[in-house]
Each structure stands twice: as structure tokens, then as C-alpha cells.
Amino acid sequence: MGTDAPAILEMRGITKRFPGVVALDNVNLTVRAGEIHAICGENGAGKSTLMKVLSGVYAYGSYEGDIVYNGETVQFSGIKQSEAAGIAIIHQELALIPELSITENIFLGNEPRKRGGRGSIDWRAAHSRAVELLARVGLSDDPGTKIKSIGVGKQQLVEIAKALNKNVKLLILDEPTAALNESDSQHLLDLLRGLKSRGITSIMISHKLNEIEAIADAITILRDGHTIETIDVSEGGVDEDRIIRGMVGRVLENRFPAHDGSTIGEVFFEVRDWTVRHPLVAERLVAKHSSFNVRRGEVVGFAGLMGAGRTELAMSIFGQSYGTKISGQVFLDGQEIQIRNVEDAIKHGIAYVSEDRKALGLNLLDDIKTSVVSAKLSKISSKRIGSIDAFKEHAVADEYRKSLRVKTPTVDEGVSKLSGGNQQKVVLAKWMFTDPRLLILDEPTRGIDVGAKTEIYQIIRRLAESGAGIILISSELPELLGVADRIYTIFEGRITDELPVAQANPESLMRSMTSIRKKDVA
Amino acid sequence: MTDTTAPVKKSGGIRDLGRMFGGGTSGLRQFGILGALVLIIVIFQVLTGGKTLDPGNVINIVRANAYVLILAIGMVMVIVAGHIDLSVGSVAAFSNILTVIILKGIDSAWVAPADGAGAVSKGVVMSLLAMGIAILIGVVVGAWQGFWVAYVGVPAFIVTLAGMLIFRGANQAVGHSTPQTVPSYLGYIGGGYIPDFPPYFPFSNGTVILGLLAALAVIWNEVRLRRRQREMGAVMAPQWVSIVKVVLLVLVLAFATYLFATGRPGTSFPIPGIILGVLVLVYSFVTNNTVTGRHIYAIGGNWHAAELSGVNIKRTNFFVMMNMSVLAALAGVVFVSRSLATGPGDGTGWELDAIAAVFIGGAAVSGGIGTVIGSIIGGLVIAVLNNGLQLLSVSSDQVQIIKGLVLLVAVGLDVLSKRSGGLSLIARFRRPGGDFAALDRPDVPPAENTAEASARPKSTVPNL
């Protein structure tokens, strides 16, 4: 990949202001034709804003600076225009309609018409074109399949097929692999390479540095709305540490806090023979005879591929918020307890931080202080009539703001304004406020930047050191190996292995995550 | 701690001023609606040559609209929780006819006390009894609707559409589709005034005392708030803000007192206004300051998150729906006791008036946003509009068209201003910084959860 290839895109001196804040300050980005260009930066660095400027979501005139695309200065006033110019953006949150078929989604708003048919849709043509497009992205599914019945990895590919249909020249992907498992991610990266060989340029925003390292030809790093640098990968010497240094402006020495297991006490929480059925398909067991325990001050990792039933297991324990016909026993301090609903769970000191903070963790209409206290209002309200003490609420939230270093001027700010990492801190604060004895964290660092991740690891550690038991569900093996004291592996609803972290390595974990080991087969 | 010397950002003061009209996160938005109300009043005052703010007319507006405003209180809670209630008119009609029939039954068994004070005490006892009976009917009817919405999981739109038919039919079955007269002693609830007492002045003593009490309450509340803020070391608004705020409110109260106290002899502040005032205070407190209120907003904002935060969704939905029926029954009593008749046509179209008030008052169709105060102001906008157009002798067909357009424009403006760059027109002044675009995006849960979400037990919250 020569640096002498012509630039397909040049964004010069882009400045984008929101009332009271400069989101982008004189940002420059040059993307050469046919390359895969990664954009890195912590959350809130301005990556998504920059891409919205490029794709016309923020219309020309609402920002300063020039966009030169294919040698011409362009002034997009909307996404339709940028699409017409061959720029397609695929958002992190996919824009597919679950109830429609693959074909219908690909051609949505762009339906092929019958000749002379006065607007009636030529489904036959659409279908055969869909088959073709799907083949190009490596999918062999029937294009009549509904979107909701294919996995998120395939949905991502359908999005790309949709873009290909529009004759895309410049494909922008915002965190394309954030929700994908290893093999789907790999497939997607291979596809990007394939598109590259056909001359399609890609811009990829990602937090997964190993992927960037593997695939990108050039990397532009943003920090606090400024361009820090553009690294040409072909020059060599680029590794994860190099990228992290650029992103955070410092060398992150210890991404994981040190722990030696000295704070670990006796077993206080135990689950025995836990079996959960799928809420709609009763014969499907989502968790199968799972038994595990947690000690005081211990971080227990749950490793498993997406769909292994980790979330379902956790949620079924957390007040039966998932599944039906749950059987098994839960012991707290050696006493069997009944948890019929989330209220019960919270009363027993169990907290669950969902993997999906926007859909399940937060009410995005709330401000920070309201969110922080929302899971245990009884702590700040009178017993008699349940009137809330607004001063206590404010004080409590402000304490968490300081101790968790939530980047916000005041706790009166709406949570929807915070970056992912800061939202996650608010969710953590919400559950820390319930004084949990057992804190279940489901993918607590998904979609948040390296700096915030490290802070969250430290928070986890601090909680464990204060005597709480932690269950950490994660798809990132380095994270589990770095933070947990002990790891259970889960495969198809079954706990397949249990290892102290000292004996675990990525290979052994991956083996147990993808197969049932002999010792556990009853 | 002297606040006047503290460097406080100007926006902080303005924000605080905005907050006094409703508080919470949507403060300035209501400030805007309040501005619209004031504007409409001024316009009609000019157009009608001063008739709009004539004491008699103001008193009349309160008496004629108290029932809609009572409905709006319940409706905003329903809408915030993400539901809708189409049955309020029918529920009120059913409750009315039943209340009146029961009351007449009691009446025939009534033995007047011998001491001659019977006439007064009978009216009071019967009025209270009527309200008590109506509330009980409201509880039963509301429990029925709440059961279907909360525990069976039928969308409230359907349940209350059914309720609209059922209770309209029940009204006609009970009352044999014929109008019934209402005993005149009930007139006090919907048509009465604060009684006057000696020494007699050219104004109503009772109303003046009420005004003074309200002014004292405003001052005391502010003093208490500041003392509490000082104790807790909270960030305080500069003192001038507090003073401006209190002075403004007291001036408004003084003006209102003047209007209500100087009407025709024999009139003063109307009793339905007092009932409304008490309800507004109680429900503002419930929605803003209690756990129940928080839960209502939490469910409307994101019921998945609410459920996973330990909110008892069923119980809260049940409460909200039942409460609405209770308030509908109460509004019914207030209404019939003014018109002194009840019949098969009672309460037709009430639900639409109440819903319009709530949306003009700034509530979101998708739930999670809205306030009691805002809805009251929204209701007053409609009331003043109605009244002003009548004073101008605009025919009722045109009045309807204008009302419809106002609703459309009010909500349309808000939607438009949101689309053209972030927050609503008014909220834009309020919130510095942040990713405004985040609010534009529809919050589609990431695809990986759709399977799970559909696998959960069906929501008790419909997507209206």
C-alpha cells in the first residue's frame, strides 16, 4: 500500500461546535484510495462526530472546514447526498428492521421497480440481486430470512451488502466488531480485506486495538477533538502500546490492577444445580445444571462465547429476570434463599450490571443523580410516605461522581450526554449504591475506551478489596485473565471448567469455551 | 456563606428561575408553555377589550374547567408511564349516575337534625359523601382497568377503549338512558365559593386570607429551601434569584387574589378551584418527590431498565391506571354538581381534552416526560383559548378547528425544534455542552438483544 496513492478523502480543518462545547477542533483527516484507515481515540474524542460530519448527518454549514472527496469539495446537506456520492456509514447500532427479510432490508428505500409496472416492486430482480450481494459478503443464507432470526454478526454483513448495493466507494464502519464474537469478527475483517482488493476504501472506528493492528494501513488518532497523529502502518513499529500511547497521551503501564488473592475470604455465595429454560421454547435449556460459588473479596470470571448462556445464567439468578421453570438452589452465607424478583435480589445484596447499558441499564431521559439512586430509592427516602430527600440524592450522586471520576460538570446533567465510559461509571455507581455483596458485571467494558477500561478495572478491584464478591462476565480473555482471581468457562449453557487464574491461559480457556470437557459430562 | 459574592454563572440563575415553575429536568420547557399561556391571555385581553381578565370571567374559567384540569393530573401520570386512558369520560359518566342514585337513596332516609342547622350540615355531609362514593366507584372501576393493563398485559389503549364502551353502556343501563337531576345541595362542590364572613368589605375576606396564606407558604418554602441548602452545603442560587422568584410569585398571587376577591358580590374563589389546588399540590409532590413518582417516570423512560432496577412494574402500572379512574370519578362529581344534572351524555370527549392538555403541557408521546404543573398550564391554555374565543363570539365549529390547530402547532414546534439540532427550543437554553446528537437518534436497542427482548414475558407497557 503505497503512501503515494491519491487521497480519496481529505477533511481539512474541521471544527464542530455544540452549544458550550467544541467537539472537533481543527481536525484533519486524509484517507488514501483503497486503504483501510482506522480511527482511534478514547470515547468522547470526537470520532463519531467526525464521521457524522463526513456523512452529512451534520449538514454543511453546521461545521467549519472543508471536505474534499475525489478531488472535489463537497457540501453534503444530508445522508442521502453522501450516499449518492458513494459514502456509506454503518453505525454501531444497526439500522435494520428485524421483522423484514434480508432482501427487503437491503433494498429498503431503494427498491428495484418493474419496467412499466408503475412503481410495483420487482421482487424477482431484488431476490437474485440479494443472492449476489450476499455471496459477495460471504453469506449463503436465504435472502427471504427475517433479520431477527439471523445473528448479529450476519446482520452486520447484511448492512455491508446493503452498502455494496448502493455502489459504495467509501465505507465507514463505526465499531463493527464491538458486538461480534471472535470468528464473526475475523470474518468481517477478512471481508474488509476483500473489499479493499476491489478498490473499496474503508474507514473503521474501533476500540479493538489488536484488530486495528492486524488490518489497518493507516491509523489516525484523535484525542479531545484534536488530531494527534496519523500513523502509516507500512512504516512498521506499530503495536498496541504505540496506539494506546497516542490515544491517552501517556503510556499505560499497568492496564490491570495488581492483585495477589490475599483479600479473598470464605465462600459466601453458592449456586447449585441451576437449570433455566428458554422463556418461549421450554424444551431448550439455556443453563444446564450449573453450580458455582463466589468467595468474599474474590473476582470470579465467566468466560464463554456469545450465546453460551452467560448473560442468561446471571439474569436468571438476578431475580429471575430471564427464563422460565428455573430450578436449582442459591445459598447466601450457607442459608438457602429464594429470589423471586429483582427487588428480592437487591434486598439480598445482589446487583447486576447489564451488558447493554442503553437498553437495560439506564433510563436515558434521566439525569445522573436520578440514575445513581434509582435502584435503591429506599436509602434516600422516608419510610412513611416514601418522599425522596433531594439533597441526600444530590450529595450521594456527587460523591460517586468524584470517587468514580465521572467526567461531567454536575450530576444534574442528563446521562444521554455522557460518553460510553462515563455512562458505564454511572451504571456502576447505581449498583454500588445498593451496597451489593455480590456484584455481577456483564461485559462492563464493552464499547468503552482504554482509559476508562483501566479505571473500571480499578473500581472492580476496590470493590473486591472492600469484601464484595464479583462475577465478571467478559468476552475479552485478556481482561478476564488480568482482573479475575478464578475463572469458570461456559459452553452451551454448561459450566465446563473452573481454573484459578494462575493456571489459565487464553488457549486453555478457549478450549473449554468451545467444547465440553470430559470431567463435567455427567 | 454569602451567595451574592459567589461568582455564579448567569445561566445558573436563569435555570433556577425556570425551575421554580415545575422543577426537575423539564423546568424551562414549562417556562415556555407558561410564556405561551401569558401571551394568549394578553392577546385575548387586548382583543376582548379587557373582558378576559375581568374578575367574573376569571372565576368562570376556573369553575368551568376545573374538571378537565383534574383529569389532566391523572392523565399526565398515565402518559408518563407510557400508557393512555381513553375511558375517563365514560368512567366519569358511570360514576356520576351511580353516585347520584346512591345519594338519592341515602337522601330519602335522611332525618334532619332538630336544631335547625340541618340545612347547612346536610349539604356538607352529602357533598363529602358524594365525593367519597365517587372515589370508591373510581377505585373499583380503576382496579378493573388496572388489572387488565398491569397483570394481564393488555395495552392500555385497548383496555380503556373497551372501558370507554363498557362504562358508557353501564351508565345508560343504570340510568335507563334518561337524565337525572342532581340534588341542589351538591351544587357547592362544583359551583360554590369560599364563604364570606363579617366584617364585610368590598372584597371577599376568605379569598384574601387564602391569598395571604399562599403567599406566606411561598415565602416560607423558599426560606426553608435556602436554610436546607445551607445546612447540606449544596450549591445555592444567588440570593437575588430567590428574591426575584418570591417577589414574582407573590405578585402573581396578589393579582390572582385581587381578581378572585373582587368579583360580583357573593362570588369569591370557587370551591372546585380549591379541590383542584389541593390535588395539584398532592400530585406534584407524589410525582416529583416520592418513590412512586420516580417509578412512574422510570417505567415510561425505559421499562427494561426499570424492571432490572427492582421497580415493581405491575404494581406501579396498576396504581397509575386506578388513580386515573379515581380522578375521573372525582372530576365527574365536580362537573355534575355545577350543572346539577347527569345523564347518558356526560363526559363525552373529556378524554380528548385531558390528553390535549397533557401534550400541550410538554409530555412525550413515548412516555417518561411530563409534569403535573405543565399539564395544568396546558389545560389552562385550552381553557383560556376556549373562553376568549367565546367572548369574541367565535362560533363553536371554528373554536374546535382553532383548538385542534393549537394542539398540532404546540407539539409540532417542539418536534421541529428538536429535529433542527438537538434539544427542544426551550431546553436549548438550559443545557450546555454534550452530545446533542445522541438525543436525535432513536434508541434502538442493539440487535443482539432483540432475540432476548422478545423472549421475555410480554411487556405490560404498550408501544403507543
Residue pLDDT tens, chain A, 522 long: 445 678 899 999 999 887 656 788 899 999 999 899 999 877 667 888 899 899 888 888 889 999 999 888 999 888 888 888 999 888 877 788 888 999 998 888 778 877 766 678 888 888 889 998 998 888 888 888 888 888 777 888 898 898 888 888 999 998 887 767 777 888 888 989 998 988 899 999 887 778 888 889 999 988 878 888 888 888 777 777 777 777 766 555 567 888 877 888 899 999 999 999 888 777 788 888 999 999 999 999 998 876 788 889 999 999 888 878 788 999 999 999 999 999 999 999 999 999 888 889 999 999 999 999 999 999 999 888 889 998 889 999 999 999 998 888 888 888 988 888 889 999 999 999 999 999 999 999 887 777 888 889 999 999 999 999 999 998 778 888 899 999 999 988 889 899 998 888 877 887 787 766 544 443
A-B contacts at Cβ under 8 angstroms: 177
Which residue of chain A has the CA closest to B287?
Answer: A387
Are the beta carbons of B126 and B186 closer than 8 angstroms? yes
Instruction: Show the 3-state SS of A325-362.
Output: EEEEEEEECCEEECCCCHHHHHHCCEEEECCCHHHHHC
What value does the CA radius of gyration of chain B take, rounded to a whole number of Å? 23
User: Which of B229, B291, B310 is opposite residue A381, by nearest beta carbon?
Assistant: B291
Residues of A within 8 A of B285 (CB-CB) are: 387
State the ipTM, two decimals.
0.78
Helix (H) or strand (E) holding A497: strand A494-500
User: Which of B291, B439, B451 is opposite residue A148, by nearest beta carbon?
Assistant: B451
Confidence band for B427, pLDDT divided at 50, 70 and 90: very low
Backbone φ and ψ for B416, nearest 5 degrees, come out as -60, -45
Does B294 contact A363 at a Cβ distance shorter than 8 Å? no
Does B308 contact A318 at a Cβ distance shorter than 8 Å? yes
Q: What sign has the CA pseudo-torsion A40, A42, A43, A45?
A: negative
Which site among B80, B282, B308, B419 would you substitute to test the A interface, given the most A Cβ atoms closer than 10 Å to its Cβ? Answer: B308
pLDDT at A418: 86
A387 touches B at CB < 8 Å: yes
Does B446 contact A93 at a Cβ distance shorter than 8 Å? yes
Closest CA to B295 of A350, A424, A377, A397: A377
Residues of B within 8 A of A307 (CB-CB) are: none
A366 touches B at CB < 8 Å: yes
A401 touches B at CB < 8 Å: no
CA–CA dist B83, B161 (Å, integer) = 12
Backbone φ and ψ for B363, nearest 5 degrees, come out as -75, 155
Does B291 contact A377 at a Cβ distance shorter than 8 Å? yes
Q: Nearest CA of chain B to the CA of A511: how many Å? A: 24
Which site among B311, B423, B448 would you substitute to test the A interface, given the most A Cβ atoms closer than 10 Å to its Cβ? Answer: B448
Which site among A320, A374, A435 would you substitute to test the B interface, given the most B Cβ atoms closer than 10 Å to its Cβ? Answer: A374
pLDDT tens across B74-111, in order?
A: 999 999 999 999 999 999 999 999 999 999 888 887 76
pLDDT at B450: 32
Asked if pLDDT for residue B293 goes beyond 90, the answer is yes
DSSP assignment of A400-438: HHHHTT---S-TTSBGGGS-HHHHHHHHHHHHHTT--SE
Q: Give B18 or B45, the one with higher predicted confidence.
A: B45
Which residue of chain B has the CA closest to A375?
Answer: B309
Which site among B309, B417, B435, B463 would you substitute to test the A interface, given the most A Cβ atoms closer than 10 Å to its Cβ? Answer: B309
Q: Nearest CA of chain A to the CA of B193: how many Å? A: 32
B195 contacts: CB under 8 Å, gap ≥ 6? B206, B268
Q: What is the CB neighbour count within 10 angstroms for residue A177?
A: 21
Which site among A363, A388, A402, A428 would you substitute to test the B interface, given the most B Cβ atoms closer than 10 Å to its Cβ? Answer: A363
pLDDT at B436: 34
| Count of CA atoms in the C-beta half-sphere (13 A) of B220 | 6
Please measure the distance between the N-terminal and C-terminal CA atoms of chain B and give it in whole angstroms: 50
The second-level CATH assignment, the architecture, of A267-520 is: 3-Layer(aba) Sandwich (3.40)
CA–CA dist A422, A427 (Å, integer) = 9
pLDDT at A226: 87
Asked if pLDDT for residue B279 goes beyond 90, the answer is yes
- B205-232 vs A390-403: helix crossing angle, rounded to 10: 30
Residues of A within 8 A of B453 (CB-CB) are: 359
pLDDT at B28: 52
Question: What order do you get walking across the sheet with A267-277 strand by strand?
Answer: A285-295, A267-277, A324-332, A335-337
Average of per-residue pLDDT across B146-166: 96
Superfamily of domain A1-86+170-176+200-253: P-loop containing nucleotide triphosphate hydrolases (3.40.50.300)
Residues of B within 8 A of A390 (CB-CB) are: 289
Are the beta carbons of A440 and A351 closer than 8 angstroms? yes
Q: Give B26 or B257, the one with higher predicted confidence.
A: B257
Asked if pLDDT for residue B125 goes beyond 80, the answer is yes
Does B449 contact A356 at a Cβ distance shorter than 8 Å? yes
Which residue of chain B has the CA closest to A43?
Answer: B435
Does B306 contact A364 at a Cβ distance shorter than 8 Å? no
Does A152 contact B448 at a Cβ distance shorter than 8 Å? yes
A319 touches B at CB < 8 Å: yes
Question: What order do you get walking across the sheet with A7-18 strand by strand?
Answer: A21-32, A7-18, A64-69, A72-73
User: Which of A98, A377, A409 is opposite residue B294, by nearest beta carbon?
Assistant: A377
CA–CA dist A321, A442 (Å, integer) = 14
Instruction: Tell me the percentage of chain B whose pLDDT exceeds 90.
Output: 57
Q: Give B352 or A183, the one with higher predicted confidence.
A: B352
Asked if pLDDT for residue B421 goes beyond 80, the answer is no
Average of per-residue pLDDT across B178-195: 86
CB within 8 Å of chain B, chain A residues 21-80: 21, 23, 49, 52, 57-58, 62
Closest CA to A208 of A234, A192, A185: A185
Asked if pLDDT for residue B356 goes beyond 50, the answer is yes
How many residues would you count in chain B?
464
Average of per-residue pLDDT across B125-150: 95
pLDDT at B118: 53
Asked if pLDDT for residue B441 goes beyond 80, the answer is no
pLDDT at B373: 93
Q: Are strands A299-304 and A486-491 parallel, antiparallel or unpaired?
A: parallel
Residues of B within 8 A of A341 (CB-CB) are: 310, 312
pLDDT at B113: 62
Does B435 contact A49 at a Cβ distance shorter than 8 Å? yes
A353 touches B at CB < 8 Å: no
Burial of A359 (0-12, 13-18, 19+ CB in 10 A): buried
Q: Nearest CA of chain B to the CA of A279: how many Å? A: 6
Which residue of chain B has the CA closest to A415?
Answer: B434
Residues of A within 8 A of B308 (CB-CB) are: 318, 321, 342, 352, 354, 360-361
Which residue of chain B has the CA closest to A344?
Answer: B310
Asked if pLDDT for residue B284 goes beyond 80, the answer is yes
Does B306 contact A363 at a Cβ distance shorter than 8 Å? yes
Q: Nearest CA of chain A to the CA of B276: how many Å? A: 22
Q: Are strands B341-342 and B180-181 parallel, antiparallel or unpaired?
A: antiparallel
Asked if pLDDT for residue B437 goes beyond 60, the answer is no
User: Which of A95, A152, A361 is opposite residue B305, by nearest beta carbon?
Assistant: A361
Residue ranges per structural domain of chain A: 1-86+170-176+200-253, 92-168, 267-520
pLDDT at A19: 64
Residues of A within 8 A of B316 (CB-CB) are: none
Walk me through the domains of chain B, giving residue ranges and CATH numbers: 10-107+120-192+270-455 (1.10.3470)
User: Which of B228, B304, B450 is opposite residue A360, by nearest beta carbon?
Assistant: B304
pLDDT at B53: 92
Task: Return the bridge partners of B341, or none.
Answer: B181
Task: Return the bridge partners of A489, or none.
Answer: A303, A497
Asked if pLDDT for residue B114 goes beyond 80, the answer is no
pTM of model > 0.90: no
CA–CA dist B257, B431 (Å, integer) = 36
User: Which of B369, B436, B457 is opposite residue A279, by nearest beta carbon?
Assistant: B457
B68 contacts: CB under 8 Å, gap ≥ 6? B331, B350, B353, B354, B357, B379, B382, B383
Residues of A within 8 A of B456 (CB-CB) are: 279, 322
Average of per-residue pLDDT across B243-266: 91
Q: Nearest CA of chain A to the CA of B175: how many Å? A: 40
Does A387 contact B438 at a Cβ distance shorter than 8 Å? no
